[in-house]
Amino acid sequence: MLHSPIDQKPFPAMFTAQPSPCTLSSSTIQHVPTVRRSETITGGGRRIGGFTRQKANNVPGFQSTVQSKHQPIRTVISSEGAKLVEKSQGSNGSLASSSVSGGMEVRAAVTIRRKMKENITDKLEDQWESFMNGIGRGILLQLISEDIDPITRSGKSAESYVRGFPKPSNHPFVVEYAANFRVPNDFGRPGAILITNFLDKEFYLVEIVVHNFSPEPQFFPANTWIHSRKDNPESRIIFKNQAYLPSQTPDGIKDLRREDLLSIRGNGKGERKMHERIYDYAPYNDLGNPDKSDELARPSLGGNEQPYPRRCRTGRRPTKKDPLSESRIEKPHPIYVPRDEAFEEIKQNTFSAGRLKALLHNLIPLISSTLSSSDNPFTCFSEIDKLYNDGVLLKDEDQKDVIKNQFLTNLMNQVFTVGGRLLKYEIPAVIKRDRFAWLRDNEFARQALAGVNPVNIELLKELPILSKLDPAVYGPPESAITRELIEQELFGMSVEKALEDKRLFILDYHDMLLPFIEGMNSLPGRKAYASRTIFFYTPTGILRPIIIELSLPPSSNSPRKKHVFVHGHDATTHWIWKQAKAHVCSNDAGIHQLVNHWLRTHACMEPYIIATHRQLSSMHPIYKLLHPHMRYTLEINALARQGLINGGGIIEACFSPGKYSMEISSAAYKSLWRFDTEALPADLVRRGMAVEDPSMPCGVKLAIEDYPYAADGLLIWSAIKELVASYVDHYYSDPSSITSDVELQAWWNEIKNKGHFDKRDETWWPNLGTKEDLSSILTIMIWVASGQHAAINFGQYPFGGYVPNRPTLMRKLIPGEGDPAYEKFLLNPVHTFLSSLPTQLQATKIMAVQDTLSTHSPDEEYLHQLHNVQSTSIKDPEVLKLFENFSAKLEDIERTINERNRNIALKNRSGAGIPPYELLLPSSGPGVTGRGIPNSISI
């Protein structure tokens, strides 16, 4: 364990005028044997990562007047350019030439970020902390050399308190402190700094820059919270911005590398505390709340019956009613994530604003339904349009009811205009240029290629279409879509010719949903089918839906409940066809959210992130490559477990599967998910949307050239692959260096055997023996975190914000002849259609959530800015050049995508009223833009 290097109290009860030690004589430098964790050192010192530290001598220090200049700092600093570092001039290649008797004077600049929004208490605490640091009683640094004494084989260290009052920087909310060391001439270069926080609370350390080591200052990027010693006596280890493979680690910091990883893993016991940074695994056993209500009990996901990726362990006590379920932390109380995974202040403010907006928009139908004693459906399309055009006005008497609740009153004051009007929804992109686009068949089909869920359409390879479900339970496997029905829709082309020319495609949700349909339809206000949709790719380059099959589970009275719908030119079939399309869209919305969005990106990335922290040192080059792609993911996933995918959460309330939502997600993980086909080219080949072609840039040729998601995605994929291959080649020059990298092998084994425990025995897991293997694995992870997530997330409001286009649930089955509702349908088909959609409350709730999920934060870090993110943690100029080339390539890709969107021959991208496909444009500003690829899954 790493302990604080000092036993004394952080400050005496009575202050004296004597200065605290901040400059050490050469006698303070320790030369002691490096020891193992199990060994004990006695004799007046305390051990830190293999070093023994004696009590510091009282040597007066001096105040540095040299300003520390830094690389860009995350969040509030990220927009500024790097400042030049004042270099100390030296000639001996190790230390600056400004030597003094007994050693060399070394200066450290410590950069700390404060809160942007401070209350009186925060400001008083800042003043107190500044005072404690000023007198040298707040922050202790211990400088660790990369070298060990060649004769004694002992480590070298020097220590100093931060001393002096903070010096303002060029960035708001950022201050700098100084610390001064004296080190001997043979100290070597510093490789790590141990930092102990004697203050009463944590602080955010941006970086430490050590001056007077030539030829240039030594950077120790941190961007981390430093816990208070009263919470944890262990010191934190901050490594220099130098990448080392395990075998290349300098002898002086080898023990620290191991110690740091051990401290991050924890012991798998006890409940995690908010200040900790412990990464461990747990199943999804915290989604239900059986202690609150039997209706909120949910099965644990993770195991043979309901497999699932693992989440980050929190260690809370089990529920009283179900010992296998973990008790919940309900909003607004925070749920544990390792401390550095939590949202930074700008992101937190943005996300909180989004949640606030969601709550307030929910008040629109909530108050209305309270007054009318029911949750009303939309009765006409103009009621939907009012959400964008007029907003909603509350009458004075309505506001009186709300004003009784002071909390709601405060919220209301933030969104009402002077006239008492609630904020309006922005007009979603799908209807912004053409209010009636959603009604057209070609737009319905176009969104399968260029919408928010373009990853489920497949090539239809053979007929008849057969189910893989057990026929003893689910009836005959043959689809009701026959060869004859298809041929009637092909304008004279034979089915054989259409199959041969790859003109038939399918959106098949039959097997995924049918096992759950009976349960879903037993829920109040839910009616769903398992669906199949056939598309025909016409010779003119247009994709047309031609047949929809909607199925219900068989019963004793009706063993075959499969209904087929085709185009019709009379009024009745016209409206029935629209209802059938709405049911398909509802299924598509559910599978998109639960499988493609949540499972395949959010949930499956979490084990990669946990394993990376547990097994790869922050000095490891692969950790440095992956680090920007892990930002905020654990936090947003924890918030999702708290309020979105939990029992009774937004997803259950607003999507067709209801309480079966996560069980469907688990079933998809069991039957469909595999790591190797998460690669974009492999996924396209698996779905028949591409064929392997070595002559093409990514080795595949698209079945439909005008497939915007795939065409743009392959550009992004290729750029990531090229960067990763060059990066891996740079660090792994020796052919055997992959297999001999103990951290890397442990990382990959843990991902397979712990993070995806339920899939650990699958034969499709890639080997990790060559540079090509590693490059392939890393490219998949980075693509999933960046391009893949962007393509299926940031279009949620642009496409789903207009409820008729993508209803997240349907409340009625399609009436057939003889049904009591059929006559009502004939008399008023619009009312039948609208009353089948989500209610006003459900619709506005999901619109608000989709608006939040589609919003870019002002502190977003985008893929094309990757080299800027890396610049503080990697100093190798060749590697930084790789990132610069990558950024330039993404800028070229953005220009290419914009040119494609202007090409009138690409009908899925351009045309009257069609929004351009921009979801894979790398750059974006803040807000709901329908474009931009962040580095990580941050919303």
User: Please, where are the H alpha helices in 501-600?
Assistant: 510-521, 571-591
- pLDDT of the residue at 709: 98
In this structure, what are the phi and psi dihedrals at residue 538, rounded to the nearest 5 degrees?
-75, 160
Higher confidence at residue 95 or residue 925? Answer: 925
- pLDDT of the residue at 339: 93
Catalytic residue flag (residue 831): no
Check: CB of residue 628 under 8 Å from CB of residue 866: yes
Encode pLDDT of 720-766 as tens digits. 999 999 999 999 998 899 999 999 999 999 999 999 999 999 999 99
DSSP for residue 326: B
Task: Give the active site residue among 789, 856, 864, 867.
Answer: 789
- pLDDT of the residue at 86: 32
Distance CA 928, CA 939 (A): 12
* One-letter amino acid of 722: E
**Residue position matching structure tokens 């004799």:** 43
Q: What residues contact 931, with CB distance under 8 A and at least 6 apart?
A: 794, 918, 919, 921, 923, 924
What percent of the chain is predicted at pLDDT more than 90? 66
**Residue position matching structure tokens 């509702």:** 821
Counting every residue written for the chain, the total comes to: 939
DSSP for residue 567: -
Mean pLDDT of the chain: 83
As given in the structure block, the two tokens for residue 70 are 């830094």
Higher confidence at residue 388 or residue 311? Answer: 311
As given in the structure block, the two tokens for residue 298 are 């949910």
- pLDDT of the residue at 75: 31
- pLDDT of the residue at 424: 67
Q: What is the mean pLDDT of residues 787-794?
A: 98
Catalytic residue flag (residue 597): yes
Q: Distance from CA of residue 633 to its chain's centroid?
A: 3
C-alpha distances in Å from residue 458, one per residue of 324, 525, 685: 39, 31, 10
Most confident of 569-573, 832-836, 839-843: 832-836
Confidence of residue 64 (pLDDT cuts 50, 70, 90): very low
The DSSP annotation for 842-868 comes to: HHHHHHHHHHHHTEEPTT--BGGGHHH
Catalytic residue flag (residue 789): yes
Q: What is the mean pLDDT of residues 468-477?
A: 94
This prediction has a pTM of: 0.87
- pLDDT of the residue at 100: 42
Q: What residues contact 657, with CB distance under 8 A and at least 6 apart?
A: 516, 520, 528, 590, 594, 663, 664
Sign of the alpha-carbon dihedral angle for 233, 239, 245, 249: negative
Catalytic residue flag (residue 793): yes
Catalytic residue flag (residue 629): no
- pLDDT of the residue at 868: 60
Distance CA 711, CA 701 (A): 10
pLDDT over threshold 60, residue 84: no
As given in the structure block, the two tokens for residue 198 are 């004697």
Distance CA 652, CA 644 (A): 8
Strand blocks (E) in 198-340: 203-211, 218-226, 236-239, 281-282, 311-312
Encode pLDDT of 120-139 as tens digits. 776 677 777 777 777 778 89
Q: What is the mean pLDDT of residues 311-319?
A: 97
Task: Give the active site residue among 171, 510, 597, 864.
Answer: 597
Q: Which of 938, 937, 331 is nearest to 648 (CA)?
A: 331
Q: Which of 226-240, 373-387, 915-929 has the least mean pLDDT?
A: 373-387
- pLDDT of the residue at 80: 32
Q: What is the mean pLDDT of residues 783-795?
A: 98
In this structure, what are the phi and psi dihedrals at residue 500, rounded to the nearest 5 degrees?
-65, -40
- pLDDT of the residue at 308: 98
What residues does 312 pair with on adjacent strands? 281
Task: Give the active site residue among 793, 805, 901, 935.
Answer: 793
Distance CA 863, CA 890 (A): 8
- pLDDT of the residue at 118: 64
Q: Which of 150-154, 442-446, 577-581, 803-807 has the least mean pLDDT?
A: 150-154
- pLDDT of the residue at 657: 97
Task: Give the active site residue among 602, 613, 627, 629.
Answer: 602
Q: Distance from CA of residue 883 to its chain's centroid?
A: 21
Encode pLDDT of 270-304 as tens digits. 999 999 999 999 999 999 999 999 999 999 999 99
Q: What is the mean pLDDT of residues 662-686?
A: 98
Q: Which of 391-400, 517-526, 646-655 has the least mean pLDDT?
A: 391-400
User: What is the number of H-type helices and E-type strands within the chain?
Assistant: 29, 24
pLDDT over threshold 50, residue 367: no
